[in-house]
Structure 1
């Protein structure tokens, strides 16, 4: 990153963003890989996997929320150059994530079967979803540690180590999933359960790699905890993090409730949404990571005491970069829809037609979504987390969830109409985010 007296450039954003983008694509790519590998087993297997990951996603959403808060908090600490602040933030973030992961695993083991039983349409779907989920809980523990460590390194500006961890885990996931899904040599054929086994092995390898890196970086306990004690440091961390956690948990709950509602659709519609959702996450992460990298730099600048003019100069450049990312993502979506029969040759003609019909929505979606992400990450970096929380939460629960229920349960609309809800939601949030960004006093840094 640029020095304390220099305004960062887009190349500084790019240096942070491209490893984060590769890592995030591979993170979401875990689901895409499982989808591609499970697709030959048929639409029922795809639907079962979507149900299982929807249930597990409640816990993963909390883990990712706390990790995102940790990333911003570490970036703020990095800007101040206070080593005790950095170390306090690291240990508190790791401890919280591990506790949440263990609690989530226990909750899924107790209640997961009942939730799947309620939402599954047929007994075979219920059994397959439970088979997948029974192994996928291991992924939750691995992600609890791995995401916290990744966020710590990202906040410091060392975004390449998390990327390297996924360069290790993705090939492991592909190879292990193929072996356990179809059976190779002495390994029996596990079917859909094999995809979860492959993911569990890969996530474990990734978490171990990052833990070794953290140990070698001599991340010791702080000499003096930030604000004097563990209790005070924890209180300050949670005060900052709670609105971010609420925002991300709300998003996860809303998304996965919508996914559970999707289970009430016709099988072809449900399968089409299950296939396109991971692709939206993977391609869309390019703009999201650019926004997150910009937010990290804003946090560094605010921690260093940068003035409003420097912040404005930096963000003006970063916004042009975000627009370029949106164009690239739109082209990626277009190519995916046009080549869908190549990616998924085993799907029925009706499912393929639905995927192609998604094209207009997917091409428009990256533009308002990317600009909203720039606003949200900038405001969070400045500590204005409550306003961001309100914009997300109210749009989700007053529009997205009710609209999904209305479109599916009342009007029985097809998957194209249901997907359009995502675009409408981003358009609704656009004036709210941009008004807050333009007219609030976040540039003063008083909310840090």
Structure 2
């Protein structure tokens, strides 16, 4: 390679700045997304531990359906990034239609499952009849959020994969204030409305997501409405195109579905703990998810750019140089996450003054585990998103599935149901899981086969 050519290629290598351009809108969007649960938890906390427990139980069941939708939308994001790098209109249309079809199908199936089995499951798991009644009322309304998110999450991932990460952010900037205002009014019965308690929090979320999805649909029509005029399908027919999309998406989706189900199974196990411990874990879970998005979305933006580079058939040197820049930025993001956790721990008494001293002390005790978990989780995520971007999805799936179902879930069950340990030790199981995944992830990345993947195949 001539020196001038090498210089041009090096100057074209994306750096941390390009990752940041993608990551900051994705981070804020993810914070708004997961922050909906935090907002609901904060608003409902004024109603007491019983209402918090009811919301946590309902969210554990409804969250499984949402988790499946999010799982396939993540696969949609990666596939769209690969297509965007390849610059093929037929491929782009095929991915968009396939993603919407799969997402809607999952949402409809999830709603059927919830209304067929959800109420009986809540009754079996709830520590009291009052909590069960509140939880089912919340879940019945929240099911509308699930249906709307089948479209919203798919389109959000499509925009992200195309590099238009600000559009999902704008949608959430529009919906979050609506969610807060509507929830406050409906929970407490302001402005002449009835006081609906936890059900009001669910209704506020429904109103907000409806506005957000409408915004996404309008933007899709304005920007990519021309795709309707593109003829043909990537794999010859719509049925084969759908099948190929499912084959690609299934290992990625299975990874996220497994993580979601494992997390919510653990939450259901938490329901057997003391009420204060259960309430503390219910509160810290969405906070951990929201704050962690600062580093996690950096790693997802890294995966998007890797997928685009592989779609463009970038050289091995370009990929190495980009990943080096991105990795250094990931450690900075992890440091920011740690600092925010410290600020949260110092604010517990102010944020949750209505809760008991025992619950607030338990929340504060979580800080060491949260800090220690941040860095291995971030570097594992860099490896996972890079490998997924190259199509090495089955290996990543195995790491997640086996660490969850052979370690985290059984360890949680033993800790809670057999040994009756404190909430702090239950939370430390998450740190142990990240340490278990560290070597398999990094070994695979260092081998380097991902750099030669043909993602358009």
Q: What TM-score comes out, normalization by structure 1 length?
A: 0.98
Residues 1:165 and 2:171 aligned together = yes
SS where residue 227 of structure 1 aligns?
coil
Task: Tell me the distance in 2 between the aligned counterparts of 1:203 and 1:109.
Answer: 21
Residues 1:191 and 2:186 aligned together = no
Q: 1:232: how far off? A: 2.0
SS where residue 283 of structure 2 aligns?
helix
Task: Tell me the distance in 1 between the aligned counterparts of 2:213 and 2:381.
Answer: 27
Task: Tell me the distance in 2 between the aligned counterparts of 1:35 and 1:438.
Answer: 41
Task: Tell me the distance in 2 between the aligned counterparts of 1:201 and 1:109.
Answer: 21
Query: Which residue does 1:142 correspond to in 2?
Result: 148
Cα RMSD for the two superposed structures: 1.3
Query: Which residue does 1:112 correspond to in 2?
Result: 118
Contact 2:60–2:264, Cα closer than 8 Å, also in 1: yes
Partner deviation per Cα, 1:373-414 (whole Å, 9 max, x = no partner): 000000000000000000000000000000000000000001
Residues 1:269 and 2:277 aligned together = yes
Q: What TM-score comes out, normalization by structure 2 length?
A: 0.96
Deviating more after overlay: 227-236 vs 262-271: 227-236
The unaligned stretches of length 5 or more in structure 1 are none
Query: Which residue does 1:245 correspond to in 2?
Result: 253
Residues 1:31 and 2:37 aligned together = yes
Query: Which residue does 1:337 correspond to in 2?
Result: 345
Residues 1:72 and 2:78 aligned together = yes
Task: Tell me the distance in 2 between the aligned counterparts of 1:165 and 1:11.
Answer: 24
Contact 1:334–1:362, Cα closer than 8 Å, also in 2: no
Q: 1:214: how far off? A: 0.8
Q: 1:331: how far off? A: 0.8
Contact 2:82–2:455, Cα closer than 8 Å, also in 1: no
Task: Tell me the distance in 2 between the aligned counterparts of 1:12 and 1:142.
Answer: 31
Residues 1:50 and 2:51 aligned together = no
Task: Tell me the distance in 1 between the aligned counterparts of 2:226 and 2:139.
Answer: 34
Query: Which residue does 1:303 correspond to in 2?
Result: 311
Q: 1:4: how far off? A: 11
Task: Tell me the distance in 1 between the aligned counterparts of 2:60 and 2:383.
Answer: 28
Deviating more after overlay: 21-30 vs 331-340: 331-340
Runs of at least 4 residues off by over 2 Å: 2-5, 219-222
User: Which of 203, 216, 224 matches 2:232?
Assistant: 224
Q: 1:219: how far off? A: 4.9
Q: 1:193: how far off? A: 0.7
User: Which of 279, 285, 301 matches 2:287?
Assistant: 279
Task: Tell me the distance in 2 between the aligned counterparts of 1:258 and 1:181.
Answer: 28
Task: Tell me the distance in 1 between the aligned counterparts of 2:251 and 2:18.
Answer: 28
Partner deviation per Cα, 1:219-248 (whole Å, 9 max, x = no partner): 533412002111221122111111011111
Residues 1:6 and 2:15 aligned together = no
Q: 1:136: how far off? A: 0.3
Task: Tell me the distance in 1 between the aligned counterparts of 2:351 and 2:277.
Answer: 18
Q: 1:339: how far off? A: 1.3
Query: Which residue does 1:404 correspond to in 2?
Result: 412
Q: 1:131: how far off? A: 1.1
